[in-house]
Amino acid sequence: MTDFQLPETRYAQSGDVSIAYQVMGEGPIDLILVPGFVSHIEFVHELNGFTSFVRRLASFARVVTFDKRGQGLSDRMVGAPSLEVRMDDLRAIMDAIGSRRAALVGFSEGGCMSIMFAATYPERVSHLILIGCFSRSADRFSDEAWEVRIEQLVKHWGAGQLIKTIAPSEAGKPSAVAQFGRFERLASSPGALRTILQLNRQIDVTAILPTLQVPTLVLHRKADLQVPVDVRT
């Protein structure tokens, strides 16, 4: 992959919703990256380190990235779809690319989506890798703290403030903050963000965990500011 080119964005149809995705590499393993609540599959290549990370994965696997409904280049959401409905977007992508079985790498609440998918379609998931994930959103913050958090996120959305918790080592660099602000604006509008966060507050996959039948690796930073390590999956 010495002549690497940025992948083409394509769309899979999930009911009436178009889901944007990209495919990189031609390896024998299908590896699907399931994002958290900030996602834009084209702009993310402008963030430091992302493209080189995906290139390494694509050296041995067919790597798929996508924007969940309501995010990035995918259609915005109508109403308040459940995690089960959003999970089906993953199935639509796998069908579109002809993937019968894949390893799922879920980030934050994308890990919850991956857990539900693996429990629902065990024959289509070979492995789970959960990064910074949680099993029940209500364990992360009290109701009062959660409401304050939503209001703060929506109020400052697009200014790059989220970099303080996602990439704190970069938070002192004005250029990095400005770049992350653009990432936020492209990923979601403030109103769509509020809807996504309210939906994510309802996530609870604790009852599903004992039913998982696939090898699972859990990775979590001790200093994770988004999902404290003591509430990890």
CA gyration radius, the chain: 17
Average pLDDT for 109-134: 95
Per DSSP, helices labelled H in the chain are 50-58, 83-97, 109-120, 143-156, 163-166, 174-187, 190-200
Amino acid at 144: E
pLDDT of residue 167: 84
Give the model confidence (pLDDT) of 79-117 as tens digits: 778 888 889 999 999 999 999 999 999 999 999 999 999
Give the model confidence (pLDDT) of 198-212 as tens digits: 988 999 999 999 999
Please measure the distance between the N-terminal and C-terminal CA atoms of the chain and give it in whole angstroms: 35
Residue 177: band (very low, low, confident or very high) from pLDDT cuts 50, 70, 90 = very high
pTM for this model (two decimals): 0.91
Angstrom CA distances, 216 to 14, 76, 131, 161, 219, stand at 27, 31, 11, 32, 10
Percent of the chain with pLDDT over 70: 94
Are 206 and 136 in contact, with CB atoms under 8 Å apart?
A: yes
DSSP annotation of 68: P
